[in-house]
């Protein structure tokens, strides 16, 4: 089951066991949340999303995030460490649409897709979604 959040975004129901961890990104499971940005060609939406995310590096760090940019078959870490990843495998595992279109995905620490985007999302909206996730909410509660 999924819920439409805002134009171009779908939040995946994290309690639905039908969603399996993304195999090509298993190295991050239980350590990081991963935001994958597909940035084929000169896409203004992907550039806007990238710039927006990287403007708040401390918030990304606080949420244990890794930000990856997949362009063609190549993967580049925009934030955090990521070595030896296969862009084609990631594209296949996420059933990515055609080359040249904007798409982004958020994976939770459990390795499953939590959010699919066809339009850029603001940091405020993204961080609110992350902060509402069970693992993050529990961590915030224990910090009080």
Hey, what are 73's tokens? 């078959």
Residue 35 β-bridge partners: 67, 106
* Model pLDDT for residues 8-21, shown as the tens digit of each residue: 555 555 444 446 88
- How far apart CA 77 and CA 141 sit, in angstroms, is 30
Residues shown for the chain: 144
Question: What average pLDDT does range 23-27 have in this prediction?
Answer: 93
How far is 16 from 21, CA to CA, in rounded Å?
12
* DSSP letter string, 7-63: TTEEEE-TT-TTPPP-GGGGGGTTT-EEEEEE--SS-HHHHHHHHHHHTTHHHHHHT
pLDDT at 111 over 80: yes
Residue pLDDT, tens place only, 48-66: 999 999 999 999 999 999 9
């Amino acid at each position: 089951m999924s819920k439409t959040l805002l134009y171009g975004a779908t939040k995946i129901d994290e309690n639905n066991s039908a969603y399996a961890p993304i195999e090509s990104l298993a190295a991050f499971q239980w350590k990081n949340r991963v935001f994958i940005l597909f940035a084929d060609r000169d896409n203004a939406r992907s550039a806007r999303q990238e710039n927006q995310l990287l403007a708040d590096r401390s918030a990304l760090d606080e949420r244990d995030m890794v930000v990856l940019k997949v362009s063609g078959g190549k993967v580049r870490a925009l934030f955090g460490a990521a070595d030896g990843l296969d862009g084609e495998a990631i594209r296949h595992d996420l059933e990515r649409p055609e080359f040249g279109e904007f798409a982004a995905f958020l994976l939770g620490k459990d390795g499953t897709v939590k959010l699919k985007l066809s339009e850029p999302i603001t940091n405020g909206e993204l961080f609110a979604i992350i902060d509402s996730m069970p693992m993050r909410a529990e961590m915030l509660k224990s910090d009080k």
